Amino acid sequence: MNRLKKAILFVLIFCCLFISVQYLLMSSTENWMRLRGFYNEPVNSIDIVFFGASHCHHSINPHILWSEAGVPSYVLSQPGQPLWMTYYYMIEVLKYQKPKIMFLETRYAYVLNGQNYDIETDNESAYWSLDAMKMSSNKLRAAVASLRAQDILLSILPVMRYHTEWRPLVKSVYNLLISGRMNSVLNNAILNKGYVYADEIKPFENIKIQNTDKIGKIKGKNLEYLNKIINLSKQEGFSLVFFKAPYPEALSDLEDQKIDNKLQEIAGENELVFLNLNNRIDDIGVEWKTDLYDHDHLNVYGADKVSAYIAKHIKDNFSKYTLEDRRSNCQYQRWNHSSENFFETLKNNIN
């Protein structure tokens, strides 16, 4: 072997080792595994994908959708995920799946509306979303849209951020070498289909309900990417559904409601469905005393009700969305097993 070939081989082995180390370092994080779990799904097997921020993955349980409507779905949201990241996530999804519906949880049309860049929170949420994304031009575009130029390298080489926590790496290597399996986080992510359950109960009382008909303004980057998402749905031929997960503040925050009204207007203009679940609290049956795990997010009991409501909406509109109940489809038997496992695990965990 001549020296040039040796040098090339050395670099190639280094790259393989580097990617493996980086993978193992990140493999203990739930956010990373949520997208990895999605990549793990068989190609063209998912009918619905849910996008948004933490409200999305705390509200939607794909196993309820499966057990109630027989529709395979996945939740692809990360904490604090802005609309621009959702847009690139949608493009990522379309590489592997042909979903009939993409649900967009709209809270972040309000949260980051016209706000200045905040290096602490914005970078962190961008990294959470980007880390698990496979390397591609889409990932680079998502990084450019989300981060300052000097921080992009940190999203391409996440090892620079994860290496300080080297204990999970040791654990992952141990699991791989000794027991020949990845750690339980991946198993959980695959099992949960992106849903994050929390069984704590934090009662919320004395909500000062207010309403407004005024229409707010969606600005800047939020508007740009909302339009991009709508255009993407038209180009790719999937149904786009706006929905807003229930949280108490939405009932009293007038500025938030103004954005909802604007979204209703946009939905109307583009013939889209907007399910503002905060206007249907009674129909869904959400109880603020029992269904929250903090002041803002639903717990497992709330998520069950919301998921059941969404499942009913889907079931009622099977023909509109060209969906079908796949529970008896032999190719989807793993979903039946997976759901059984999930509910069994959930029962054990809650008990």
Q: Which residues bind other proteins (CB under 8 A)?
A: 3, 6, 10, 13-14, 17-18, 21, 25, 123, 151, 153-154, 159-161, 163-164, 166-167, 169
Looking at the Cβ atoms of 10 and 39, the one nearer to other proteins is 10
Q: How far is CA 285 from CA 54, 212, 314, in A?
A: 21, 23, 18
For the CB of residue 28, give the shortest distance to other proteins in the complex, in Å: 14
For the CB of residue 319, give the shortest distance to other proteins in the complex, in Å: 50
Block residue for tokens 């600005």: 219
Looking at the Cβ atoms of 52 and 80, the one nearer to other proteins is 80
Cβ neighbours of residue 153 under 8 Å, at least 6 residues apart? 160
Residue 141, token pair as written in the block: 């575009």
Q: How far is CA 37 from CA 41, 180, 343, in A?
A: 7, 18, 18
Looking at the Cβ atoms of 25 and 83, the one nearer to other proteins is 25
For the CB of residue 179, give the shortest distance to other proteins in the complex, in Å: 22
**Residue 111 dihedral angles phi and psi, to the nearest 5°:** -60, -45
| Among 347, 279, 349, CA closest to 309 | 279
**52 sits in which H/E element:** strand 48-52
Looking at the Cβ atoms of 163 and 234, the one nearer to other proteins is 163
For the CB of residue 115, give the shortest distance to other proteins in the complex, in Å: 21
HSE-up (13 A, CA, CB side) for residue 322 = 7
Looking at the Cβ atoms of 160 and 350, the one nearer to other proteins is 160
Q: How far apart are CA 194 and CA 188, in angstroms?
A: 9
Looking at the Cβ atoms of 164 and 211, the one nearer to other proteins is 164
For the CB of residue 146, give the shortest distance to other proteins in the complex, in Å: 15
For the CB of residue 168, give the shortest distance to other proteins in the complex, in Å: 11
